[in-house]
Every structure is written in structure tokens, then in C-alpha cells.
Amino acid sequence: MHKWLIDQERMRPSIAEPAIIPLYISKIAEEKMRNHALSKAHEKLEVMGLMLGQVFNHDGVEYTIVRDVATTDLDASSTRVRFRRDGFEKLFASMDDVGFDHLVTGWYHSHPGHGIFMSPTDVDTQKGMFNSSFHRAVVIDPISKEIGAYRLGSGDVEPVPFVIYWEEYQNPYFGTTVRKRKLAD
């Protein structure tokens, strides 16, 4: 138990059998998505990008891990966004540079000042482009500082619980990397 936890958190009962959460987002990917949304918040412009990661199955339960994101130049307003036609080469180059084998696990976009939800256009995008069971959509409102995740359910989108995690040797409190410990012989 971390010493910075408030007393209410220390008193929270532990879960007897941990549940599989449908979406895990690395702190690095979350920061990139959030900072991207914040970078255009003052102009109230939407942003978007692709989420990159892996899909796993544990005891018949599928879950998605987002390890990084990729984006490119955008055509955007306060209520719509899309990749610029001349930006795909840059997008694919950034996807090639992530440093691990990945799938496109979904997409993220922002709703600056409009809240977190999936608009009818967002739902159409999810159904048309991100319709596999593992695909997720993350929506960020950089004005209200909210974030939510969604997936296709039975014909429509539904909210998805998610967690943000740190890579194994990343120090979550000081933004530095912790070296691997060498085991004594």
C-alpha cells in the first residue's frame, strides 16, 4: 500500500478475485493523447489519432492494451476532425517508429468543451473503421478535463472501464526510468 493514499483508500476492501479490465492504457499513451487535446484546447479544435497496442485473452476474456499513439496533420474545427489527405505518409512513418509490434487498437479524439460521449458521427466512424471486438475509442474533453472510453456493444457503443498503467521500470512519481536491478549471483 502506498503511503500517500488517503485513509479512505487504505480502508477500501481488496478485491478477492481481480477482474479483467477491458482496456489498459500506458501512462505514455495517455499523456500523449491528453497533451495533444490540450495543445488545441485554447483554439477549441478537435484532435485525433490512432491507438497502438496489443490484444490479449485471459480465461476467455479479451482485453486491449494501448502502449502508444500515432497522429498526423489534421483538418479540424470545434465539432469535427479528420486526417489531412497529405498527412498519411507522416502517420504511417510515426506508426513505424513506435518500437514494438502493434495493432491499431482503436482511435482517440477530443470534444473541447462538449463533454465525453460518442456523437452519431463518432459512432459511424467506430462502426465503419474500428469494428473489431478489441477496438476502443477514447474521447477527451480538455476543457472539462474528462476522459472516457467506448467500444461497440450489441449494435451501438457502450462505455468501457479502463486503467492507466506504468511500464515495468518507469517511476510513476518522478517521471524517470528506474534501472533494472541486477540479481546477485
pLDDT at position 60 over 70: yes
d(CA 122, CA 85): 19
How does residue 101 score in pLDDT terms, banded at 50, 70 and 90?
confident
* pLDDT-based confidence at residue 7 (cuts at 50, 70, 90): low
Residues 165 and 158 sit within 8 Å (Cβ to Cβ):
no
pLDDT, average across residues 24-50: 95
Residue 170 confidence class, pLDDT cut points 50, 70, 90: low
Q: Domain residues of the chain, as ranges?
A: 20-166
Q: Kindly state the average pLDDT of the residues 100-124.
A: 94
CATH architecture, domain defined by 20-166: 3-Layer(aba) Sandwich (3.40)
User: Taking a C-beta distance cutoff of 8 angstroms, is the pair 53, 60 a contact?
Assistant: no
